Amino acid sequence: MARYEFGAGVADFVVTPSDGLWGVGQSVTVTFWDAATDGTQYTNLLNTSSEPITSVTTDQYGTLPRFWGPDGVTGMWADAGGGVRAYMDAHSVTSIGGGSGAVESVNGMTGAVELLAEDVGAVAASSVGVANGVASLDETGLVPVEQLPAASAAVTSVNGQTGAVVLDAEDVGAVATGAAVLLTGAQTVGGVKTFSSVPVGPSSDPTTANQLARKGYVDAAAFAGDWSPQDHGLLAWAFDPAVGMSTGIFPGTNGIRVTAVRLRSPATIGRVVWFATGYAGGLQTGSWAGLYDSSGARVAMTGDMSTATYEPAEQHASGGGTISSPLTSAYAASAGVYYIAWRMIYNTTTGDGPLLLAAESSAGAPPNVFGYSPVKRFGVYSSSSATSPPSSLTLGSMENGANRFWAALAA
């Protein structure tokens, strides 16, 4: 639909009688209808500013102003209040939205209109490619080089240097190639390097004399054809139990027995282990075992070995077998020398306890310190009657025990 323009035509005036004469009707309100009488009033009108109106008012000359009628209406009955309506045709030259008719104005201008670039929101051709104007585009869609502005400032120095500047790694706070350890590629690294944690190597074994080796490889090579504690599910032991005496020895109820072991790498210890050639059970209250570090300080212990939780299991197998007692809590141990100390109060009915595996102990006082190390590998505190693990052992007071009992540690 389209709106058509009405008013301001040669016949669009309102006249009124006065003293038998006709004069112009000034400031007269005119309404518009769809019939000569009665009918329906058109109220959806627009003024020339496209603002909604329901009627129009004549000016001082009685002229009806220009306005837009309702959509699609090309004629209306005008009522100026005189009792008779006059029919008005729409101007055929212009309509809103219709797109038909002759041009009445261009961009709000009438008469012999002459438009400039600025009238249609454009840039004047004379302003393209000149100073204080706008740039053009070449056939590639880019601004020609000659129309680009000059750089605001040229580089005057680089890192404080001028002239033919040549920078090295130090000039830009970098490390020169060959002066840093790379993540990939072969390099020769000089000097002593200290690591804050143990480096992890490849899973392959070394093949030449100067290659570094993994711990697993070293452990396996250290024992070669010999048996190690790990081969038997243990963390450390006093010696290979296969070289012990085939007949066990009672440790006795008097005094504290001590056996030293060496832990080769850090491990979590959860159990003290012995080998019994026979044991009928029944340890009494006051039986215990403790673990001490190289200074003699207690670091872990079992509970009362007369209780079901901590008493070693009975051993009646031919040739004996391994017995053990758990620690009250697991101990995360670093590598080093540890002392296993224990006291076993025998069964009061049979009068005996575990018959333990020991090394050759036929001499009254066999050697228990070897080489130049002061470590005493087997010993006893014969006068002690402690009923629980003491908080520390005075290693210098340890006696040279006559029996060298086998003991071990396990997870």
Local confidence band at 173 (pLDDT 50, 70, 90 cut-offs): confident
The H or E element containing residue 258 is: strand 256-263
pLDDT of residue 62: 87
What are 310-347's pLDDT values in tens digits?
Answer: 999 999 999 999 999 999 999 999 999 999 999 999 98
pLDDT of residue 95: 45
Tokens of 39: 């009918």
* Most confident stretch, 10-14, 187-191, 276-280, 365-369: 276-280
If one compares 212 and 256, the residue with the highest pLDDT of the two is 256
pLDDT of residue 231: 93
pLDDT of residue 227: 92
Average pLDDT, the chain: 88
CB proximity list for 33: less than 8 A, separation 6 or greater: 39, 40, 41, 42, 76, 77, 79, 85
Q: Yes or no: say if 358 and 249 are a contact pair by the CB < 8 Å rule.
A: yes
Local confidence band at 10 (pLDDT 50, 70, 90 cut-offs): confident
In angstroms, how far is CA 107 from the centroid of its own chain?
A: 62
Q: Yes or no: say if 346 and 284 are a contact pair by the CB < 8 Å rule.
A: yes
Tokens of 188: 């020769």
The neighbour count for residue 320, using CB atoms within 10 Å, is 21
If one compares 411 and 220, the residue with the highest pLDDT of the two is 411
Of 14, 48, 19, the C-alpha closest to 31 is 14
d(CA 198, CA 370): 32
SS3 (DSSP) at 232:
helix
pLDDT of residue 281: 94
Local confidence band at 236 (pLDDT 50, 70, 90 cut-offs): very high
Q: Yes or no: say if 345 and 306 are a contact pair by the CB < 8 Å rule.
A: yes
Of 373, 372, 363, 355, the C-alpha closest to 400 is 363
If one compares 269 and 365, the residue with the highest pLDDT of the two is 269
The neighbour count for residue 104, using CB atoms within 10 Å, is 11
The string of DSSP codes covering 286-307 is: T-EEEEE-TTSBEEEEB--TTS
Inform me whether the pLDDT recorded for 258 exceeds 90: yes
Q: What is the pTM of this model?
A: 0.53
Tokens of 237: 């032991």
Inform me whether the pLDDT recorded for 71 exceeds 90: yes
Across 28-46, average pLDDT: 95
Across 214-237, average pLDDT: 83
According to CATH, what is the number of the domain 3-96? 2.60.40
d(CA 325, CA 310): 5
Rg (CA), the chain: 57
Across 369-391, average pLDDT: 95
Buried b (16+ CB within 10 A) or exposed e, 252-286: ebebbbbbbbebbeebebbbbbbbbbbbeebbbeb
d(CA 355, CA 239): 18
- Residue 336, sorted as left (phi over 0), alpha (psi -120 to 50) or beta, turns out to be left
If one compares 143 and 162, the residue with the highest pLDDT of the two is 162
d(CA 389, CA 178): 58
Local confidence band at 113 (pLDDT 50, 70, 90 cut-offs): low
Domains in the chain: boundaries: 3-96, 231-410
pLDDT of residue 111: 60
d(CA 273, CA 324): 4
